[in-house]
């Protein structure tokens, strides 16, 4: 959360808005649950458990809609629909390499995704 949903004051990391005093604990808990589901989805993708990843990402999106989770779920659903062709899908997204197995390809993708996520997670709430 970057801003209070009630008054748009910048969030200072506290459990209540510094300007309007609205209680933010429940919203923060939902956001954290969404982040956990997203992390679970990436972890399942890393072990090539596509169906579990799809379930986790759908849950994350139900709690909090973000472009990243939407795009990742779209990718995972493509993998679900074309399981026999998943190596091909991953090769389209990754540079050519000698890693032919789906599991390794997905691990590489998940590592790239985690690297992309890390700066965001470390950013301060006020930016
Ligand atoms: Zn407020």
Please report which confidence band the pLDDT of residue 127 belongs to, taking 50, 70 and 90 as the band edges.
very low
Q: How far is the CA of 102 from the centre of ligand 1 (A)?
A: 47
Unique residue bearing structure tokens 């999106």: 61
C-beta atoms surrounding 17 within 10 Å? 20
Of 15-29, 40-54, 73-87, 113-127, the least confident: 113-127
Q: Per-domain residue ranges for the chain? A: 25-121
Predicted pLDDT of residue 81: 84
CA distances from 85 to 40, 78, 90, 102, 123 (A): 24, 10, 9, 10, 37
Q: Which residue has the higher pLDDT, 121 or 76?
A: 76
Q: Percent of the chain, pLDDT > 70?
A: 72
* Bridge partner list, 10: 3
Please tell me whether residue 10 adopts helix, strand or coil conformation: strand
Specify the long-range contacts of residues 82-86, CB closer than 8 Å, at least 24 apart: 83/50, 86/50
CA distance 90 to 100: 10
pTM of the model: 0.61
Unique residue bearing structure tokens 């169906």: 51
Q: How far is the CA of 16 from the centre of ligand 1 (A)?
A: 8
Predicted pLDDT of residue 108: 73
Of 9-18, 73-82, 116-125, the least confident: 116-125
Please report which confidence band the pLDDT of residue 36 belongs to, taking 50, 70 and 90 as the band edges.
very high
Provide Rg for the chain, Cα atoms: 17
Q: Which two tokens stand for residue 97?
A: 């390499």
Q: How far is the CA of 34 from the centre of ligand 1 (A)?
A: 22
Mean pLDDT, all residues of the chain: 82
pLDDT by residue (tens digit) across 56-99?
999 999 999 999 999 999 999 998 887 555 555 555 555 555 54
Tell me which DSSP letter residue 86 carries.
H
* Ion ligand 1 contact residues with beta carbon within 5 A: 4, 6-7, 9, 17, 19-20, 22
């Amino acid at each position: 959360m970057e801003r209070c949903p009630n008054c748009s004051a910048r969030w200072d990391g506290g459990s209540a808005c510094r300007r309007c005093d609205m209680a933010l604990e429940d919203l923060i808990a939902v956001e954290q649950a969404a982040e956990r589901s997203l992390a679970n989805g990436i972890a399942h993708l890393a072990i090539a458990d596509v169906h579990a990843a799809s379930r986790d990402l759908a849950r994350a999106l139900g709690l909090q809609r973000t472009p990243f989770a939407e795009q990742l779920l779209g990718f995972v659903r493509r993998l679900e629909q074309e399981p026999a062709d998943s190596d091909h899908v991953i090769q389209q997204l990754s540079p050519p390499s000698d890693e032919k197995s789906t599991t390794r390809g997905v691990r590489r993708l998940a590592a790239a995704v985690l690297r992309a996520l890390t700066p965001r997670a470390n950013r301060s709430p006020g930016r």
